[in-house]
Amino acid sequence: MTVSLSSYFMSFWSASELHANVIIFLNLTGAMLLGFVVGYERSYHGRAAGMRTYGLVCMASAALVVISGYPDFWYGARAVYPVNLDPSRTIQGIVTGIGFLGAGVIMREGFTISGLTTAASLWASSAIGVMVGVGFYAAAILLAFLSAACMIWVSRIEAWLPSRPAVAITMQFRQGFIPREDALRKMALARGYEIATGTLNISCKEGRSEWRFVAVGLSRTLATRISELSLELGAFEGLEFYQIAHARN
């Protein structure tokens, strides 16, 4: 019994088993480092998901895929039943799991949505891990640097290209006051904005009307800065409370 038990444990340290472990170790290390590359941009900008999150996602994705390629070494190559795996199903499971993780970092407050870039880049990070796991090392490195470049440089390109800034505005009026929509639209137009179609949401509580909408700039040059717009909103007739924020993040 002692010899049998000793032989069983030694099977986990055979030359072939150690060789497979070394390959898996190198894959995991490479995936983690590539995850760090993608996650640094998010960490630099103070996002909740940083280098640790991206490194773990990328490394875990690689781990799940790479072990699927070594079924003959499972359980010290002493599996009672033959292990038949379809790596594509493992990849499907990873994609599903990352979907839940991505949903957790997307936040919505009124018309303002944040976390979309983080969720998308987490998905890309898992894809990098999968590519490392199946052995597409050059493609994984390229995807990592393309993902990082996309998050770092595309926002600068967007800032250079013509665009229409959007702001989410909440206005609460004093009790009994009935605001006029045409006056609101006229004020917005005078400051380089127009109320986006289908975004006007009106509610009333205890006699106080509350209007929520998204105002889209006619152009970047014509649209008033959000700080200046905030000061001018305070002078709107009957306004008791207001909140203004960028509609996209």
> Is there a contact between 170 and 197 (Cβ–Cβ < 8 Å)?
no
> What single DSSP character describes residue 95?
H
> Is there a contact between 184 and 211 (Cβ–Cβ < 8 Å)?
yes
Tokens of 54: 């991206």
Looking up tokens 């709107």 gives 236
Stretch 30-41: mean pLDDT, rounded?
A: 91
Stretch 180-204: mean pLDDT, rounded?
A: 87
DSSP letter for each residue of 7-34? HHHHGGGSHHHHHHHHHHHHHHHHHHHH
Identify the pLDDT of residue 1: 43
Q: Tell me the C-alpha distance between 173 and 240, whole Å.
A: 5
Cβ burial 163-190 (10 Å sphere, 16+ → b, else e)? eebbbbbbbbbeeeeebeeeebbebbee
Considering only CA atoms, which of 234, 231, 233, 230 is closest in space to residue 245?
230
pLDDT reading at 79 higher than 80: no
pTM here is 0.74
Q: Tell me the C-alpha distance between 7 and 76, whole Å.
A: 10
Domains and CATH numbers, the chain: 5-160 (no CATH), 166-246 (3.30.70.260)
Identify the pLDDT of residue 77: 65
**134 against 83, higher pLDDT:** 134
Phi-psi map region of 46: left, alpha, beta (phi>0 left; psi -120 to 50 alpha):
left
pLDDT reading at 111 higher than 80: no
> Is there a contact between 213 and 233 (Cβ–Cβ < 8 Å)?
no
pLDDT reading at 123 higher than 70: yes
Please provide the distance, in angstroms rounded to a whole number, between the alpha carbons at the two ends of the chain. Answer: 64
Looking up tokens 């990070």 gives 125
The CA dihedral of 136, 139, 142, 144, to the nearest 10 degrees, is: -50
Identify the pLDDT of residue 158: 78
